[in-house]
């Protein structure tokens, strides 16, 4: 998703390649909504919309270390579908030349 945000104008620090703005140094839950700030301001952005329903809204960074028994199938499926949506947009952006 951050690769798309970069294509839509998210500035990066030239020395570290990290996002320049602190509010862009985020994980999946926050990136879903932050993405919109860049997408909506780009002339090609209309073709790359995400659902307003964030499938990662229940995700926390600490979940990376949680045992898989902490997650039920429905939650995992929602995350998988969200990742698939983003992957589809990235593939589209590559195909259309938005991402080199």
Residue 79: per-residue pLDDT: 86
Greatest alpha-carbon span in the chain: 44
Q: Give the pLDDT confidence score for residue 66 in this predicted structure.
A: 67
Helix (H, G, I), strand (E, B), or coil: what is residue 19? Answer: strand
* CB-based contact 13:98 (threshold 8 Å): no
Partners of 19 in the β-ladder: 12
Rama region for 17: left / alpha / beta (φ>0; ψ in -120 to 50; rest): left
| 65 has pLDDT over 70 | no
- Region of poorest pLDDT, from 7-11, 21-25, 73-77: 73-77
Q: Distance between CA atoms of 49 and 42, rounded to whole angstroms?
A: 11
Q: Indicate the number of domains in the chain.
A: 1
Is 7 a member of any domain?
yes
The verdict on residue 56 lying in a domain is yes
Strand partners of residue 79: none
Domain of residue 47, residue span: 2-95
Is it the case that residue 59 has pLDDT exceeding 90? no
* 62, pLDDT greater than 70: no
**Is residue 100 assigned to a domain?**
no
Give the pLDDT band (50/70/90) at residue 35.
very high
Query: What is the average per-residue pLDDT within 27-38?
Result: 89
């Amino acid at each position: 998703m951050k690769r798309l945000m970069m294509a839509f104008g998210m500035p990066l620090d030239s020395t570290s390649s990290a996002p320049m703005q602190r509010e862009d140094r985020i994980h999946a839950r926050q990136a879903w909504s932050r993405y919109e700030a860049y997408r909506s301001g780009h002339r090609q952005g209309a073709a790359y919309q995400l659902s307003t329903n964030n499938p990662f809204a229940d995700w926390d960074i600490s979940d990376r270390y949680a045992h898989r028994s902490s997650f039920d199938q429905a939650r995992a499926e929602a995350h998988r579908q969200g990742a698939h949506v983003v992957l589809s947009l990235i593939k589209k952006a590559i195909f259309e030349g938005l991402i080199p």
